[in-house]
Structure 1
Amino acid sequence: MIVRIMGEGQLDVADGHLAELNSLDDELLAEMEGGDEAGFRRTLGALLEAVRRLGEPLPDDALEPSELILPAPDASLDEVREMLSDDGLIPG
Structure 2
Amino acid sequence: MIVRILGEGQFDVPQDAVTRLNELDAAVEAAVESGDAATFTSALAALLDGVRGAGAPHPAEALDESDSILPPADATLDEVRGLLTDEGLIPG
Q: TM-score, normalised by structure 2?
A: 0.95
After TM superposition, the structure 1 = structure 2 runs for residues 18-57 of structure 1, keeping only pairs within 5 Å, are: 18-57=18-57
CA deviation profile, 1:7-52 (whole Å, cap 9, x unmatched): 1000100011010000011111111111110000001000000100
Instruction: Say which SS state the counterpart of residue 22 (structure 1) adopts.
Output: helix
Q: Which amino acid aligns with 1:32?
A: V
Q: Which amino acid aligns with 1:53?
A: G
After TM superposition, the structure 1 = structure 2 runs for residues 71-86 of structure 1, keeping only pairs within 5 Å, are: 71-86=71-86
2:10 matched residue in structure 1: 10
**How many residue pairs get matched?**
92
Q: CA RMSD in A?
A: 0.8
**Identical-pair percentage:** 54
Which runs of structure 1 show a deviation greater than 3 angstroms over 4 or more consecutive aligned residues? none
